[in-house]
Chains A and B, each alone.
Chain A
Amino acid sequence: MEHDDETNPMLDDPEHYHLRLYVAGQTSKSLTALSNLKKVCEEHLAGRYEIEVIDLIQNPRLAAGDQILAIPTLVRKLPAPLKRIIGDLSNTDKVLVGLDVRPKSAG
């Protein structure tokens, strides 16, 4: 994670973000979370992220795998280690800290 932006600002496998957002139907919290997430990713992780949205109402059995209790839950599958953020992601700064994303502007 401690890649120096000056030496290696480019996309790398370790720099690739695999994010999974668990929602339960089209609730306002879920929609807010998704739009907040997309915004953060576009701003800071453009081109090096993928978002997988899982609706637990359609696939409840998937909840156990990632130990989901709260909705919405964002799980950072990659890069390791696994991280979890719950809530509608309304605080962008906290999302960046939570996902260990160093804003590009800082580089």
Chain B
Amino acid sequence: MPSSDHAAMPAGLAKTQTGISGFDEITLGGLPTGRPSLVCGAAGCGKTLFATTFLVNGATRFDEPGVFVSFEERAEDLAANVASLGYELETLIEEGKLAIDHIRVDPSEIEENGEYDLEGLFLRIGFAVESIGAKRVVLDTIETLFSGFTDQALLRAELRRLFGWLKERGLTAIITGERGDGQLTRQGLEEYVSDCVVLLDNRVVDQITTRRLRVVKYRGSAHGTNEYPFLIDTGGISVLPVTSSGLHRPASDEIASSGVPGLDAMLGKNGFYRGSSVLVSGVAGTGKTAFSAHFAAAACARGERCLYFAFEESADEILRNARSYGLELGQHVQSGLLRFEASRPSLFGLEMHLARMNRDLQQFDPHVVIIDPISAFRGPLAEVHATLLRMIDLLKSRGITGLFTTLRSDGGMMDDTETGLSSLMDAWVKLENDEANGELNRTLYVIKARGMGHSNQVREYQISHAGIALIEPYIGPEGVMTGTARITQVAREAAAKLRRQQETEQRRREVVRRRAALERQIEELRAALESEELEETIRLSEADAREDKLRLDREIQAHMRGYS
């Protein structure tokens, strides 16, 4: 329940805290002060324990002494029965904080003769109340009176008077009653105690018992109307408020690393948002628990508390397996940062798991919770879904980052549970086994990560003794490749590249060679041209010489003919 509801509580109705975790939230403060409340239910559903807890908490935590009027169990038996819950009734009695009066009604010993009333009962309760200054009274189970006295009309009148008497004295009282056919109690006590009626129930479905509590009515006060699962174990009694219906929770900008650097990088913000819910889904053998262990290790390394709910493996198995991929979680367990709660999911009903979880969360107050896996919860789909929703609500309301793993059956893209789940989750990492070329390679991708610009790549990862490592993606013209296919492809590419380099080199040498050849040719042509030019020059000079010779000869001939 959001705390704002407490503030909205009408001031007129004073309430007395029971100190029962969860119940005071449902009733927005506890039972009506100074009035009797009826707690009814079938045998063995925890009425006496509820009532005892109310008194013990009153005596130890709220400084309100109490009287237990037992019509069934003797004081010694009562003390012995609740000793296992850590309640020390004898000590409280010695300290004057608690009084127990065992009223034995044995019809065989009583003979009626004429008019009577139950003033003796009033005096006894009054005496017990006054002896310790009690503020709280429990009558357990007053219906026993009906077996001891034959005059039912008188008995009813006296009960009415008794409840009035309790009210007059301002005593906050719990009257317990056995569940009857067609009505809340066998004797119709609800007629007399009408201020507050609480119904306890113990249901067995598929051989699994779930205790539930419902506030049937609460005059003058709002209250949660649902059936709430509750838990009785060595920690006492605790009720799980179902869920806060509103979605008003602060969003954190802080980031919690997934513990796998490559995955952090894919998310774009180096991890998940704190207080978000993360789903890691995958088929068998994809390393869901390994991712969980990395997440846990990362949280503990930051000095945060991590609560690990394991439903398929024991704590020791997880620790051993984590060592095989290089995570030493044992040290965190010893330092108290990491706590395992391992149990078979079939041990309790879904509601009980929730109630247990709620209590563990309150006790351990973790920063990070891992639930491995949620697919272990079996039951009708709607119920599983509702349970998970409340689990997530539970975590979110406390700002806890939750990592859920789920086993996905092979085949389709997603099965029904996943479809339902995805809307509840803030981030979803999907793990796959890709079978190709005679080998199985693991890949992952981020389906969604609200509020993060996450990568859309499918990445291969390997789990080795050094942990989970994402491998640089191979995305080429022939698609994404994994495993040896990737390695061969990389090798093939390298070879092709080398070949290309060699070819280029060859081409360059060819060019150089051809240039040299051409240049040589040019040289030759030029040389030829030059020799031709030289010859021409020689030829010209020879012609000139010849011309000179001819002229000379002509001059000589002319001279010789007579002109000389």
Contact = CB atoms under 8 A, between A and B. Distances in A.
Given A67-B104, A69-B145, A85 B120 contact: no
Given A60-B126, A70-B149, A94 B120 contact: no
B103 A69 contact: yes
B114 A84 contact: no
B194 to A, nearest CB: 24
Given A63-B127, A67-B104, A86 B119 contact: no
Interface string A60-72: 1101100111111
A70 B111 contact: no
Contacts of B121: 69-70
A89 B114 contact: yes
B534 interface: no
Contact of A70 (B104, B106, B116, B127): B116
B114 A33 contact: yes
Contact of A94 (B113, B117, B119, B127): B113
A56 interface: yes
A88 B117 contact: no
A16 interface: no
Given A22-B120, A69-B145, A73-B120, A82 B109 contact: yes
Contacts of B104: 67
Interface in B143-159: 145, 148-149
B114 A91 contact: yes
Contact of A87 (B103, B114, B120): B114
Contact of B116 (A29, A60, A67, A83): A29
B124 interface: yes
A95 interface: yes
B101 interface: yes
B110 interface: yes
Nearest to A63: B124
Contacts of B120: 22, 24, 56, 63, 68-71, 73
Contact of B123 (A27, A29, A63, A85): A63
Interface in A25-57: 27, 29, 32-33, 36, 56-57
B127 A87 contact: no
Contacts, number: 95
B110 A60 contact: no
B113 A84 contact: no
Contact of B117 (A36, A57, A60, A70): A70
B123 A87 contact: no
B105 interface: yes
Contacts of A68: 120, 124
Given A64-B101, A70-B149, A83 B124 contact: no
Nearest to A25: B119
Interface centre among B104, B116, B126 (most CB of A within 10 A): B116
B119 A71 contact: yes
A96 to B, nearest CB: 10
Contacts of B516: none
A89 to B, nearest CB: 5
B112 interface: yes
A103 interface: no
B67 to A, nearest CB: 12
A63 B127 CA distance: 9
B103 A90 contact: no
A9 interface: no
B253 interface: no
Nearest to B102: A64
B145 A88 contact: no
Nearest to A82: B109
A22 B113 CA distance: 14
A64 B110 CA distance: 15
A82 to B, nearest CB: 7
A88 B126 CA distance: 23
A87 B112 contact: yes
Contacts of A83: 109, 111
Given A63-B127, A67-B103, A68-B124, A87 B119 contact: no
Contacts of A14: none
A61 to B, nearest CB: 6
B115 A56 contact: no
A84 B103 contact: no
A76 B232 CA distance: 45
A27 B123 CA distance: 14
A61 B118 CA distance: 16
A95 B124 contact: no
18 contacts: A32-B114, A33-B114, A56-B119, A56-B120, A60-B124, A60-B127, A63-B123, A67-B104, A67-B106, A69-B105, A69-B124, A70-B119, A71-B118, A83-B109, A87-B114, A87-B115, A90-B115, A98-B111
Interface of A: 22, 24, 27, 29, 32-33, 36, 56-57, 60-61, 63-64, 67-73, 82-91, 94-95, 98
Given A86-B113, A87-B116, 11 more contacts: A24-B119, A27-B119, A36-B114, A61-B127, A63-B123, A63-B127, A70-B116, A82-B109, A85-B113, A86-B110, A87-B115
Closest 9 CB pairs of A and B: A87-B114, A60-B127, A88-B114, A90-B114, A71-B119, A68-B120, A87-B113, A24-B119, A70-B116
Interface of B: 101, 103-106, 109-121, 123-124, 126-127, 145, 148-149
